[in-house]
Structure 1
Amino acid sequence: MEKMKYKMSSRATILLGRESVSRVDGAIIELVKNTYDADAGFCLICFDVKHDHIYILDNGSGMTKGIIESCWMLIGTDNKRVEYLSAKNRIKSGEKGIGRFALDRLGSKCKMYTKHESENLICWETDWSSFEKSGQIIDDVEANFSYCPGQQFEDVIPIEIKNAIAQCARENHNNQFSLKSGTLFSISGLRDKWSDREKEKVIDVLGYLIPPVEQQNYAIIIQRSLTSTAFKVDSDITDDYDYKVRAHFDGKKVTAKVFRNEFDLNIMPKELFRQPAFSFEPYRLEDFSKEYFEITRTVSELTGNDSSAYANMCESVGPFDFQFIFMKLSNRGEGPYYYKAVSRKRKIWMENHGGLKIYRDNFLVRPYGDPTSKSFDWLGLDARKGINPVAISDKSEQWHVNNSQLQGTVLISRVYNASILDKSSREGIIENEFFDALSSLLIAIISIFEKDRAHIVKNIKRYNDQQNQRERAKEEAAGIAKTVLGKKNKRTKEKSSDAASDTEKLATAVQIYQEEREELISEIKLLRALATNGLMTTTMVHDLKSINALLVSRVRGFKLAIRQNDTLQIQRNLDDLKTNDEFLKSWITVITTQTKKDRRRRLKKDIYKVLSESLKLISPILNRKMVEIQFATDGGEAYKKIFATDFDSIIYNLVINSIESFEETKVSERQITIRVESDDDNLMVHYSDNGHGLTEAFKKNPYSIFKYGTTSKFDAEGNAVGTGLGMYIVASSINEYKGRYTITKVEDGFGLDITIPLSEEGR
């Protein structure tokens, strides 16, 4: 069989290159990357627009004739993929072998001088328009090549550029700017109009092109024109931050150093650190006095996702480093939380430098963190904040940061993070499941700082409220209002004084406030009841679907059994009908009962009886789920003014969690034990089940399950699918009665002890 060879049009080749390097700033970046890969100490870019030239100079290793032929002129070469480490152990950033087309993007002609230590100076020259001739194949296109014996590399560098390099060397006092070897590109026939504004755009991009830590070993130098003064492009690093986090992920766990710089220890009262919330690490006085505290978390502990598939995916993402700072832009509206003063310059600095940027092998991956692009908030932090926009002092400790308040860098590598793939356009990353896993890990690391800050501020607020006796003032005001308004009703029709009138107005306002507060409480009760109903329905969705599938088809089977007079089949149908109807009745009764208005009114009731009635309502549901409840009491009574729906929510959410635990655990008998007892002061409820207990993610910090949004339910990609409401509702309901809850068991089942004060002060 005869063989035929593929051919490629020279024009098609260059068009492909222009597709890959379509933007002028992208072209500059590609050429700068090549200088870094060549172990250069610097790269200088000179815009000699007046003479239709751009110069790009580096002092890297240069190229030999063999390298030019086998690598530089081989389109699509994989030499950087195979030989990915440079002589200075830099991981080479290029790998697709099309970066040289960046030269074509900038200008129609290019002359290159390159000097390798092993050969004479080389001059290479090409006219990119020669690629565009019709009918020509790639093999027909040639470049000019010649040695320059007797000439040194410095001899071909324009004197203005050479002087600029000498000036940089004097200012930095090192040999980073030696010119013994390297490469100089002289690009002419410029394709763009290089206005001052266009130059500044490129300069801004180059300021972030490499992370600050690498700028000590590699410099980018700019000359706006051939005669202008050269300057080094640096990232503007600031020490003015409120929080800083440095984190490293090794594939299995995250180690993070958290630097607090927000709170003024000089004005924080020492009494504050005698409060329970500040009595343990890392919230003690000595912890605040240290430069930073360090924590280590496994993937499951950090994210709450105990799935082995998710852990494996995170391990496949590979190791990375993540550093970020948090800045408040003002103290306005925050409250007296002992903050340090906020500089007015912060807002300007964040506008110019804010955002979370990704660096692959020490080079910026665009457009992540670029304030001019849609990928500025690529982690979706603002949307996350919008879903739960609570204040920093909220008791849930679920405050989230705005994207505009963060600045940071994510450091990855194509060697160690091979699953994080570049797009073919050379801008952006393919957003596959591994990129999603990376994003979820980064958000979890950010949450370390969020939880720390929220815990501190919430408890500072609690301390200040206690010091200011705000709650006592409210109670006293309510009492005064009641007294004043009572006197008003008994007062004669004599004309009242202005002072008395003002007092009555104030008392009326307080009473209106109390009435509105009661209305809000009633709304909260309704929302909790609806949320609990939703959670219960979700737990039973499989059973409801099964019944739904039978609703019509069972009639057909019933008719057939009656026609055939099959008494056994008729009885089976009746039994199934009864079981399903009891289940549906129970579900409907629970939902409708919880939302009844009288259960959202504060009435004096026997809590023993309320709990017993709640369990009786859901017994058909438990029977269908094959769950046995052992309910025992000490035979006492415990009367208290309560909202019955609160105790429904406590019991139902605990039961829902137990049912879901049973679904994931193979146990011979599904058992829940509830024991109720009381004394003169308190009611005690002891709850336990024999499910799987808490997942590994929560065993070190089990009380985090009571925080809003905390869930152990995730899909295969690591996205949270649980609501994180169930145990939060339990805790919120108990807290409203100034009760206490204690986790008694986390393995081989779950246990919780609840104590509710019976005095009216414990309402």
Structure 2
Amino acid sequence: MEKLKYIVEDSILAELLGVQNFSNKESAILELVKNAFDANALTLKIVIKKDSIEIVDDGCGMNRDDLAQNWMHIGKSSKGYEINGANGKKRVQAGSKGVGRFALARLGANVEVFSHKNACKSIAWITDWNYSTLEEVEDYSLIGTKMLITKLRDKWTEKTANNLAEYLGRTYCDDAMKIELFFGDKEIPINRVFEKPEKGVNFSSKITLTYCAEKKNLHCCVESDEFSEEAQKYCKNNIYSYSNDIDLKKEYSDTSFDEEVTNLDNLLMELGDFTAELYFGIDRVLTGDDERFLYKRKVLSNRYNYGIILYRNSFSISSYEGKKDWLGLGKRSRKSPAAATHPTGSWRVRENQISGVVNIDKKRNFYLQDLANRQGLDENNHYKLFVEIIHTGLAEFERYRQSLIRDINKKNKPEPKAEDSIIAKVVKNPETMKILTKDEEARFVDELEGLQKEQREYKKNIEDTEKRYKYDVRILNVLATSGLKATSIAHEMKNDRNKIDGNYEFIVKALKTYDMWEELCEPDNTKVAHLNVPELLKKNRDTGVKLLQFMDVMLEEVEKGQFIPEEYSIKELLDKVKVNWESDYAWININVEVNNQVRFTIPEDVITVIFDNLILNSIQQNEKRNRLEIEIEVTASADMLFVCYRDNGVGLPDKYKKNPMKILEPHETSRKKGHGLGMWIVNNTLNMSGGEVLDIISNIGFEIDFTIGGNL
């Protein structure tokens, strides 16, 4: 039996693995930079001329055997994980595929490679990608490797050489090897991005993420210099720093980021440790916002705008050099476009507001694998988990920053007008202007300036309100559309009410008329569930009863009168909610404690929306329990209801124990098929009424304390 091997023409290899395998000339140069780095070079010199490119390194070089057996062997690589650097510093080798040498073909049609390895003869390899020659030469002046590329495929100018310098500054993040770049005789400096980040100049907040695979823990640390010292007196959290540890096994235990993930525990371990250092900064503070939100500065003098770069050891990974939004931050912020001042919506950082580095390791993060064409990573489950963990860390920063801005924004509420206003007196009697004292004139000017400021604030508040309601409406429109569909079906069902309600009796009566009922009820005819006609009819009747209840509730809750504020007995409203739920769920008991005398002016739908969502949440979290006790206690003041809602269920999932307020964020859920909007709707409704959530406790069961105002 004859053994055969593929034979491929050199020119085809050069075309496929060189010209077509590198998306641009800069990435081809980078591949040769990596080769020099892996050859243990301390210095690499790149000289670009209009008709040639010369690349010279002082690395270990190659002899005849190296070139013939390794260089000319496609797909073979002698590179391992790590080598001892010439300067005593270990280097993680960048290459492994054995095809990087074809970057030369991407750059030019003719190539000459001269190399010298210690104690060996120098060699010269010359190719036009159709024919290649190799010879040993007597040249002892050369140390390392020199490559001369001619018949260039691209036009090089000083501008494109500068672009290369900027590209190498992004993609190379080590100081083990110095890179010198020349365009002709002119040296072009290569400045590494993020080399010396300066707070208040390049960024306003630094977010450090450290993932430990063994502990399945993400440590998040924020250092902030965004707000002035005065802001601290309004903020519950420290305005300068924040840190938190997240148990990712708990965080992702109930709600998988991907249905294909079958063993999250293994995936978290296999992913391996990694770190990230991200720099946040807004481009420019709008006029007036510096006072409203107590920003420390209006603009960052040299704000980072490089995007987020993914580095594997000393080099970035192709397609993840910051220009591509590989973390999907744009899509993420479009899904949740709330402003940071939004009282209930979740603010998301915009892709143009953040730059930084994510560091992975060739061995430790083995499962983050390159695509065959080297233009990115295989977006497998390990990669999806990797991105999700970074999103989780960003969400910690977003919650922290939004909490500061919300606290600061509370000071911007308009203060009540003084009764002895000079302006009010002048408006009432213009003649007063003529007899104002010096002190009153000064007060008059101050009040006018205050009015101008209020006008600006008012205009800003209108803009913020518009943004807020655009966000709220987007979410609620989805639910409203589903509700309208259900309401339409309920209206149709109303016409069939008599059929649904009476069909059971009519069928039983008919079967008795035809002398079939007694026989169908015989024990022998009821043994098999799907042939047990009496039981099937009974189940059908029970389902019909539930459908009628659903129809009644749907039609009742969308009646126009539900939305008109009236003075109600709170006890009567809550008893109505109690009866509706207990009739549908026999295993729950709702105890309402509120004085019969408590009356409050409020639209009925506000009470319904708040307590229906709370009760539904309790039911969904405790579906496996045989009995659920719910208690609702209400007390009242002149303009506010104080409510304590609690159940004796399983309480919050572990992921919310450290920060229970997190359940109020939109799309936050522990259920795989949940929409995560129920508690957000509760919080949003409370906020619009003028109330707020005071506390959430989940030591034993679940408890939420809140106020309801009368602003709706």
Correspondence for 1:57: 56
Match of 2:297 among 321, 338, 341: 341
Q: How does 1:232-243 map to 2 (within 5 A)?
A: 232-235=190-193, 238-239=197-198, 240=201, 241-243=203-205
Correspondence for 1:327: 281
Deviation at 1:461, TM superposition (A): 1.1
Q: 1:526 to 1:700 in 2, by over 3 A?
A: closer
Instruction: Indicate yes or no: 2:259 matched with 1:296.
Output: no
Structure 2 gaps of 5+ residues are: 257-261, 429-457, 487-499, 522-531
What is the number of equivalent residue pairs in this alignment?
623
| CA distance in 2 between partners of 1:533 and 1:688 (Å) | 31
Correspondence for 1:127: 127
| CA distance in 1 between partners of 2:156 and 2:475 (Å) | 60
The CA deviation string for residues 249-270 of structure 1, in whole angstroms up to 9 with x for no partner, is 12211223312121122xx16x
SS in 2 for 1:314: helix
Correspondence for 1:701: 659
Correspondence for 1:148: 138
Letter in 1 for 2:130: S
Conservation of the 8 A alpha-carbon contact between 1:535 and 1:656 = no
Conservation of the 8 A alpha-carbon contact between 1:126 and 1:143 = yes
TM-score (norm 1): 0.73
Deviation at 1:345, TM superposition (A): 4.8
Correspondence for 1:28: 29
Q: How does 1:170-569 map to 2 (within 5 A)?
A: 181-211=143-173, 214=174, 216-225=175-184, 227-229=185-187, 231-235=189-193, 238-239=197-198, 240=201, 241-251=203-213, 252-265=216-229, 268=230, 273=233, 275=234, 277-278=235-236, 283-284=237-238, 288=240, 292-299=241-248, 309-332=263-286, 334=289, 336=291, 337-343=293-299, 345-346=301-302, 350=304, 353-371=305-323, 375=324, 377-396=325-344, 398-465=346-413, 468-469=414-415, 472-473=416-417, 531=479, 565-567=516-518, 568=521
| CA distance in 1 between partners of 2:637 and 2:408 (Å) | 34
| CA distance in 1 between partners of 2:271 and 2:373 (Å) | 22
Conservation of the 8 A alpha-carbon contact between 1:76 and 1:98 = yes
Q: Which has the higher helix share?
A: 1
Conservation of the 8 A alpha-carbon contact between 1:207 and 1:234 = yes
TM-score (norm 2): 0.78
Letter in 2 for 1:264: S
Letter in 2 for 1:246: T
Conservation of the 8 A alpha-carbon contact between 2:41 and 2:60 = yes
Deviation at 1:335, TM superposition (A): 5.1
Letter in 2 for 1:192: D
Instruction: Indicate yes or no: 2:610 matched with 1:650.
Output: yes
| CA distance in 1 between partners of 2:483 and 2:95 (Å) | 51
Conservation of the 8 A alpha-carbon contact between 2:568 and 2:599 = yes
Deviation at 1:69, TM superposition (A): 3.4
Deviation at 1:620, TM superposition (A): 4.3
SS in 2 for 1:294: strand
Deviation at 1:404, TM superposition (A): 0.9
Correspondence for 2:703: 751
Deviation at 1:59, TM superposition (A): 2.0
Correspondence for 2:578: 615
Conservation of the 8 A alpha-carbon contact between 1:20 and 1:424 = no
Conservation of the 8 A alpha-carbon contact between 1:704 and 1:710 = yes
Moved more, 628-637 or 446-455: 628-637
Conservation of the 8 A alpha-carbon contact between 2:630 and 2:648 = no
| CA distance in 2 between partners of 1:687 and 1:260 (Å) | 37
Q: 1:524 to 1:146 in 2, by over 3 A?
A: closer
Correspondence for 1:167: none
Instruction: Indicate yes or no: 2:671 matched with 1:713.
Output: yes
Q: 1:364 to 1:680 in 2, by over 3 A?
A: closer
Deviation at 1:198, TM superposition (A): 3.5
SS in 2 for 1:205: helix
Correspondence for 1:660: 620
Q: 1:386 to 1:232 in 2, by over 3 A?
A: closer
Correspondence for 1:541: none
Correspondence for 1:46: 47
SS in 2 for 1:129: coil
Structure 1 gaps of 5+ residues are: 132-141, 154-180, 485-509, 539-550, 715-720
Correspondence for 1:503: none
User: RMSD of aligned C-alpha atoms?
Assistant: 3.9
Q: 1:63 to 1:609 in 2, by over 3 A?
A: same
| CA distance in 1 between partners of 2:248 and 2:94 (Å) | 29
| CA distance in 2 between partners of 1:224 and 1:526 (Å) | 54
Conservation of the 8 A alpha-carbon contact between 1:107 and 1:191 = yes
Moved more, 603-612 or 435-444: 435-444
Q: 1:657 to 1:535 in 2, by over 3 A?
A: farther
Deviation at 1:33, TM superposition (A): 0.9
